[in-house]
Amino acid sequence: MAQYDVKICCMGAGYVGGPTMAVIAKMCPRIKVTVVDLSQKIIDAWNTGNKLPIYEPGLEEVVAVGLKRGNLVFSTKINESIAEADIVFISVNTPTKTAGIGAGRAANVKNCELCARTIAEVSTSDKIVVEKSTVPVRTSDAVRAVLEHGAKPGVKFQVLSNPEFLAEGTAVPDLETPSRVLLGGMQTPEGLKALETVVNVYANWVPRDKILTTNLWSSELSKLVANAMLAQRVSSVNSISALCEATGADISEISRACGTDPRIGPKFLQASVGFGGSCFQKDILNLVYLCESYGLRECAEYWNWVVQMNEYQKSRFSLNMVRSMFNTVTGKKIAIFGFAFKKDTGDTRETAAAFIARDLVEEQARVHVYDPQVSRESMFAEFKYTLNLSEETKPGLGELVVTSPDAYSAAQGAHAIAIATEWDEFKTLDYKKIYDSMAKPAFLFDGRNIVDAAALREIGFTVYSIGKPVGMK
Ligand SMILES: NC(=O)C1=CN([C@@H]2O[C@H](COP(=O)(O)OP(=O)(O)OC[C@H]3O[C@@H](n4cnc5c(N)ncnc54)[C@H](O)[C@@H]3O)[C@@H](O)[C@H]2O)C=CC1
Ligand SMILES: O=C(O)[C@H]1O[C@H](OP(=O)(O)OP(=O)(O)OC[C@H]2O[C@@H](n3ccc(=O)[nH]c3=O)[C@H](O)[C@@H]2O)[C@H](O)[C@@H](O)[C@@H]1O
């Protein structure tokens, strides 16, 4: 039997737990990594090695290394895996609360607490418990209290915070060459020793100067702030896109002109139909709630506007579609290109595309959606979860929303195309062929500014791009 230097157990085999642990296993042959989940279906999918539960470029190859070598295991044997581990990562979902105190804003840390209870219950040896989930600042206090109160005699726990900064679609490069790894711990001799143990895991492939250590609360809060600041840039640029449409300025030129200043930088200045994803909105609302809880009303309002601006951008997009199409889309076929919240992922959580589809369906349009990675099942799950939109709340939804096998059939006979996700394949479609197959006038609303609007206008399309007045290149 193989001998390992360290044994890791990760609770939660989702978008974060799966890729993060697969990379640790790949980079550290002397570490055994077991990823556990409550869902047998998810664990079975990871174990296939080639039909993974999530789509992420390059991930199959990374998972294959650990599975083949035997130091990466996916399992539902939660208790046994925790019991044999030296380090336990908690990487479970922390969604926005839907009921009770702070509903709609506060993060629900129920799953983290349950993990802590399980760890306390089954541990017969000391463990380092690492919060990888994104949590409100000071959640580690609660985790520590649960662990200490539930611990078997003589068993000691150290709690660390190690938030994850990977972005979906680029998870593998983000994990293999991270901008930084952040680790927070208690500034006590035991806390610092635990920090050093986990620093040593990452130091197998991450340069030491990129491994930042802080106190627990700074680490927890930095994660919320990083997401809030990234989302703030998108909302800022989106707010200016509305001003561009009104004045004749061009948002792409503005992003370039401002982003060239090294103090501002070029990234996250791409105007869009609105940001989506499971975390930006959730984490900002969590920050808003924290500010409110500490009586910091102005700070709460400030960050809340990042979310408000995003809502405005999404509704502005669908309103512009309806207005441009002579104030009615009733009975019209409309193609939506892309449903994932960004390219290179099949994740639909909080995707702007769902909001656009909802608004169009409310107007009784017939919406035909094509996305290379999103199944009809996930699309309808997202409608229900985020928008409470289902056959029960909107009879006939199943017929109004059609999932198409490709972009051409989605657009066939349609009055308009809305590009909601920036998949590369949408840049190189045969738009002449698409135009010829559409009802006229043929509209194209580019929610990602990825098509060559001038070339499409040459073909005959009426093109609307974000942050560019009609008729502009
Ligand atoms: N999705 C992303 O790109 C990122 C997410 N995060 C944060 O990481 C955390 C996890 O997010 P995702 O991986 O996206 O969530 P996810 O929903 O994809 O995965 C969470 C998994 O945890 C499992 N789980 C829940 N309770 C459990 C328990 N008691 N024992 C074992 N498994 C349990 C669920 O079955 C699920 O498979 C969240 O706090 C999120 O905010 C942080 C950075 C990036
Ligand atoms: O905590 C998380 O879950 C993660 O959230 C984001 O990652 P992710 O949501 O996967 O994707 P992003 O690339 O940040 O995009 C988020 C949304 O903003 C949109 N966006 C992004 C950049 C931009 O310039 N314009 C823009 O509209 C994207 O299309 C997408 O809908 C952060 O980038 C990660 O660092 C973080 O770990």
Catalytic residue among 9, 279, 291, 299: 279
The answer to whether 8 and 33 are in contact (CB under 8 A) is: yes
Answer positive or negative: Cα dihedral of 227, 229, 230, 235: positive
Q: Residue 472: what pLDDT?
A: 46
CA distance 310 to 274: 5
Q: Is residue 213 part of a domain?
A: no
The answer to whether residues 73 and 39 belong to one domain is: yes
The answer to whether residues 389 and 252 belong to one domain is: yes
Tokens (6 digits) for 377 = 């099942």
Nearest CA to ligand 1 atom 34: 12
Q: Give the model's confidence band at 469: pLDDT under 50 very low, under 70 low, under 90 confident, else very high.
A: confident
Nearest CA to ligand 2 atom 33: 167
The answer to whether residues 309 and 404 belong to one domain is: yes
Q: Is residue 222 part of a domain?
A: no
Q: How far is the CA of 235 from the centre of ligand 1 (A)?
A: 26
Domain of 362? Answer: 232-465
Q: Is residue 350 part of a domain?
A: yes
Q: Is residue 54 part of a domain?
A: yes
Index of the ligand 2 atom closest to the CA of residue 274:
27
The answer to whether residues 432 and 340 belong to one domain is: yes
- Does the beta carbon of 235 lie inside 6 Å of ligand 2? no
Ligand 1, from 93, 112, 133: best to mutate by most atoms within 8 Å of Cβ?
A: 93
Q: How far is the CA of 376 from the centre of ligand 1 (A)?
A: 22
Q: How far is the CA of 421 from the centre of ligand 2 (A)?
A: 13
Mean pLDDT of 87-96: 96
Binding site, annotated residues for NAD(+): 12-17, 37, 92-96, 133-134, 168, 279-282, 349
The answer to whether residues 188 and 238 belong to one domain is: no
Structurally, the chain folds into a number of domains equal to 2
The answer to whether residues 291 and 354 belong to one domain is: yes
The answer to whether residues 321 and 398 belong to one domain is: yes
Provide the CATH number for the domain around residue 300. 3.40.50.720
Q: Give the model's confidence band at 1: pLDDT under 50 very low, under 70 low, under 90 confident, else very high.
A: low
pLDDT digits (tens, 9 = 90+) for 329-338: 999 999 999 9
Q: Give percent above pLDDT 70 in the chain.
A: 99
The ligand placed nearest to the CA atom of residue 276 is 2
Q: Is residue 335 part of a domain?
A: yes
Ligand 2, from 268, 273, 278, 345: best to mutate by most atoms within 8 Å of Cβ?
A: 268
Contacts of 465 (CB under 8 A, 6+ apart): 446, 449, 453, 472
pLDDT digits (tens, 9 = 90+) for 291-314: 999 999 999 999 999 999 999 999
Given 189, 206, 223, which residue is the final one in a domain? 206
The answer to whether residues 86 and 35 belong to one domain is: yes
The answer to whether residues 37 and 148 belong to one domain is: yes
Q: How far is the CA of 277 from the centre of ligand 2 (A)?
A: 7
Nearest CA to ligand 2 atom 35: 165
Q: Is residue 31 part of a domain?
A: yes
Index of the ligand 1 atom closest to the CA of residue 118:
29
pLDDT at 73 over 80: yes
Q: Is residue 473 part of a domain?
A: no
Q: Is residue 241 part of a domain?
A: yes
The answer to whether residues 191 and 55 belong to one domain is: yes
Phi and psi at 451, nearest 5°, equal -95, 160
Q: What share of the chain is helix, strand, coil (3-state, %, to 5)?
A: 45, 15, 40
The answer to whether residues 393 and 448 belong to one domain is: yes
The answer to whether residues 103 and 247 belong to one domain is: no
Is 28 tagged catalytic? no
Given 166, 191, 206, which residue is the final one in a domain? 206
**Assembly ipTM:** 0.98
Q: Give the model's confidence band at 50: pLDDT under 50 very low, under 70 low, under 90 confident, else very high.
A: confident
Mean pLDDT of 443-449: 98
Answer positive or negative: Cα dihedral of 384, 388, 392, 394: negative
CA distance 299 to 363: 37
